[in-house]
Amino acid sequence: MPFDRSIKIAPSILSADFADFGREIAAIEAQGADWVHVDVMDGHFVPNLTFGPPLVRAIRKHVTTFMDVHLMIAPVDPFVEAFAEAGADLICAHVEAGPHIHRTLQAIRATGCKAGVALNPGTPAAVVEPLLDHCDMVLVMTVNPGFGGQNFIHSGIGKIRTIRAMIGDRPVHVQVDGGVTPETAPLVARAGADVLVAGSAVFRGGSVETPGPYGENIRAIRAAAEGTYV
C-alpha cells in the first residue's frame, strides 16, 4: 500500500466480541475501517493477557484491509517471525520492552513486515530520533497500555507534535492509541497523527447483528479528525 498521510481509522478489536472476531472484522471493514488494530498482551509487559500468533493467523483470513499488530509483550524478538508468519502487515514493538529496540526493528523488517515503534505515556519523544530511518510508524500511547476504555492522557499531544516534526519528510506514520474519541481526535490529528486507533469509541452501541453504529462511530471520529465536525 503506498504511503500517505491521510487520516486512517484503525479500530482495536480489543473491544470486539472475542468469540466472533471473523464477523466483527467483516463488520468494521464494511463500516469504513481503514486498518484493523490487533492488541497482543502477555500479562508481563502489561497487566492483561489477550492472544498469540495462532489467533492472529486465524483472524488474518478475515482482514481485507491492513493488519496492524501492536505487541505489548517482552521480550519481542523471539516472537517476531511467528507474528509475521501469522500474516501481520505491520508489527509494532514497544521501546520499553527491551534493551535493543533497533535490533527488534531490523528483525521485523527482515520478515518483510512494516515496523512500528511504540512509546508509553511516560517515555519521552527523543528516544525515537535514532530510529526514524528504521521504522514505518511511531505509535504514541495516550493511555497506559493494557486495557481499553481508559481516559486520554493529554501529554501525548505535545509528544505527537514533537515526533511529527522530527519525522520531517520521511514516510513514517504517526499512530495514536488510547482514549481516541470524536472529542480527542481533532487534538491528535492537528498535532500530526495520521493513524487513529479506537476501541471503545468504535464498538460502542453496535454489534455484528447491528453494525450501523460502528459506521456512525468511525465516521464521527474521522470527521472530527479531518476538522469537518459533521
Residues found near ligand DX5 in the complex (CB under 6 A): 12, 14-15, 37, 39, 70, 143, 145-150, 177-180, 197-201
> Which residue's CB is nearer to ligand DX5, number 106 or number 144?
144
Binding of Zn ion at residue 222 (CB under 5 A)? Answer: no
The CA distance from 190 to 103, in Å, is 32
Examine residue 182 and say whether the peptide bond preceding it is cis (omega within 30 degrees of 0).
no
CA distances from 41 to 14, 155, 226 (A): 10, 24, 31
Minimum gap (Å) between residue 178 Cβ and ligand DX5: 5
Minimum gap (Å) between residue 12 Cβ and ligand DX5: 3
Residue 192 contact, options ligand DX5, Zn ion, none, Cβ 5-8 Å cut-off depending on partner type: none
- Cβ–Cβ under 8 Å, residues 13 and 63: no
The CA distance from 204 to 228, in Å, is 22
> Which residue's CB is nearer to Zn ion, number 48 or number 106?
48
Residue 106's φ and ψ, nearest 5 degrees, are -60, -45
Minimum gap (Å) between residue 208 Cβ and ligand DX5: 18
From the list 78-86, 123-131, 147-155, 176-184, the region that binds Zn ion by CB under 5 A is 176-184
